[in-house]
Amino acid sequence: MQPVILDSTLREGELYKIFPVNVKLGIAKGLIDVGVVRVELTVDYPGRTSEEDIKPVVELLKEHNVLPVLHGRATAEDVEAIAKYGEVGCALYMSLSSLHLEYKLRNLTLEEAVEKMCRSISKASEYSFPYIRATVEDASRIFLEQRKQGVDLIGEFTEKFKEAGATLVSIPDTSGLLTPSQAHELVKEVKQVSKLPIAAHFHNDYGMASANTVEAALAGAEELHVTIMGIGDRNGIADLYEVAASLQDLHGVNLGIRREKLAELYRGFSKMTGIRLFWRNPLSEEARTIRAGVHQSMTVKKPEGYIPVGKLKYDFNEPLYELNPYISHKLIQTLLDNKINDKEELKLITSKIASVIRNRNQRPNLQVIKELISRETGFDIPLSRLEQFFGVDKVYILLKLNPSFSTENLKKHLLQDPDVEGFDEVYGDADMIIIGKLRRSEENNLVSRIRRAFGPYIEDMHILVAD
């Protein structure tokens, strides 16, 4: 049996950033499109969240045969709140480690906590929930502190939870304490004693949540908890892409995820939420950029020598190259379509380009490189070809808008523009900041499109270009 992805961007992820309903719906549509079959949300807590925040998302998910899983406390109140959404998943949690029992649950005994969880599960089983998950919060601490005894204890919990009506048990690494080998060991050993299928929900405090979740899958976990970009409490949990792509590309594990859609999901998510892809993210532009000259020499011939085949197949068609002092003469030869094959001449041209870069102490404008190559070789390289190899400039567009202008149409336009990476509404000298790609090779570039579509409503516009 292959594991199932449960995406918690709309529950765990909202501990990082609260999303308005229209953004929640956009995220849900993206998750549906990539093939996620379980999506977790927090049950509404009056005064903090409302049914109006949750119901449209639940209905959308149901329409597409995706199971909404509503997450709440192990209380009758929360079970009843979940029940009003009909046939959804019901996820209940209770802290059972000694540390949490003492300091979070005010010296509740282990027996009392387990009994409270069982009562809540029994209450949930009275409804038509197709999925009832019991979460043993801080399970990793129980395992690390007690080892075999801790594993047996978790096994005992699962037996009681199953009798009460649970269909799944989650054994989270609540404080991000595990290493990948320990995560594998935890799941493997608990599976030997558990009466229920196992869900893995691992936090990222030491940066190992995704690796731990991959190991949990390989050890037999039936449900894997992730979020887009790994966002969540503190520095988050496992990342959807890192888990799904690694398991499919490297281990051949089919999670039912449309691998080719993940990059599109992340780009759309970044635009909708304003949460940028960090440079270390596997889907960032940096992840496809080759910097070392000797690496560039091989990559122009065989890119899979430095970039995994799965990433070339699904995430981007070709690498980018960094314009830096280490630039390869083989790269310049390829850029020139092999019009110059003399090694010494190529090295001389490359040396001059490297010198220009070094003296500027930053990436030079591609127009400068174009003119230098033309002067040294007599060949005119189109800007579009230089952009194909070296990427395009990043542009920051600051807009001051007419006060009577509603930004909704502008935001819809920006969400559809392929060169927009993100945008934020701000206060002060500008009303909106747009971050995107400036293709100097095109007259109809991002700046031109915004001016043409919204010029009458723009009172002031500042363009900042980064290297």
Whether residue 279 is contained in a domain is answered as: no
Domain end position, chosen among 273, 306, 330: 273
d(CA 323, CA 291): 8
Whether residue 280 is contained in a domain is answered as: no
Whether residue 71 is contained in a domain is answered as: yes
d(CA 282, CA 245): 10
Residues 147 and 63 in one domain: yes
The number of residues in the chain equals: 467
Residues 213 and 299 in one domain: no
Asked whether 141 and 175 are in contact (CB, 8 A), the reply is yes
Residues 19 and 59 in one domain: yes
Question: Which residues have CB under 8 Å from 337's CB, separation 6+?
Answer: none
Instruction: Output the pLDDT for position 84.
Output: 96
Q: What is the CATH number of the domain that holds 62?
A: 3.20.20.70
Split into its structural domains, the chain has a count of 3
Residues 300 and 263 in one domain: no
Output the DSSP codes for 21-82: HHHHHHHHHHHHHHT--EEEEEPP-TTTS-HHHHHHHHHHHHHTT-EEEEEEESSHHHHHHH
Whether residue 139 is contained in a domain is answered as: yes
Domain end position, chosen among 342, 365, 390: 390
Instruction: Output the pLDDT for position 357.
Output: 86
Whether residue 412 is contained in a domain is answered as: yes
Whether residue 350 is contained in a domain is answered as: yes
Please give the C-alpha separations between residue 226 and each of 31, 119, 274, 314, 322, in angstroms, as whole numbers: 12, 28, 19, 20, 32
Residues 246 and 266 in one domain: yes
d(CA 417, CA 356): 34
Instruction: Output the pLDDT for position 45.
Output: 86
Residues 58 and 204 in one domain: yes
Instruction: Output the pLDDT for position 142.
Output: 96
Torsion of CA 190, 204, 40, 248, to 10 degrees: -80
d(CA 202, CA 220): 15
Residues 357 and 461 in one domain: no
Buried b (16+ CB within 10 A) or exposed e, 79-108: bebbbebeebbbbbbbbbbeebbeeebeeb
Residues 252 and 267 in one domain: yes
The token pair at 325 is: 């002092």
d(CA 180, CA 216): 8
Whether residue 459 is contained in a domain is answered as: yes
Residues 379 and 430 in one domain: no
Question: Which residues have CB under 8 Å from 313's CB, separation 6+?
Answer: none
Domain end position, chosen among 372, 390, 408: 390
Question: Which residues have CB under 8 Å from 263's CB, separation 6+?
Answer: 283, 314, 315, 316
Instruction: Output the pLDDT for position 359.
Output: 85
Asked whether 366 and 390 are in contact (CB, 8 A), the reply is yes
Instruction: Output the pLDDT for position 199.
Output: 98
d(CA 16, CA 110): 31
Q: What is the CATH number of the domain that holds 419?
A: 3.30.70.920
Residues 326 and 418 in one domain: no
d(CA 458, CA 33): 35
Residues 246 and 165 in one domain: yes
Residues spanned by the domain of 383: 285-390
Residues 36 and 150 in one domain: yes
d(CA 421, CA 442): 18
pLDDT truncated to tens, each residue of the chain (467 aa)?
799 999 999 999 999 999 999 999 999 999 999 999 999 999 998 878 899 999 999 999 999 999 999 999 999 999 999 999 999 999 999 999 999 999 998 889 999 999 999 999 999 999 999 999 999 999 999 999 999 999 999 999 999 999 999 999 999 999 999 999 999 999 999 999 999 999 999 999 999 999 999 999 999 999 999 999 999 999 999 999 999 999 999 999 999 999 999 999 999 999 999 999 999 999 999 999 999 999 999 999 999 999 999 999 999 989 999 999 999 999 999 999 999 999 999 999 999 989 988 887 777 788 888 998 999 889 999 999 999 999 999 999 999 999 999 999 999 999 999 999 999 999 999 999 999 999 988 999 999 999 999 999 999 999 999 86
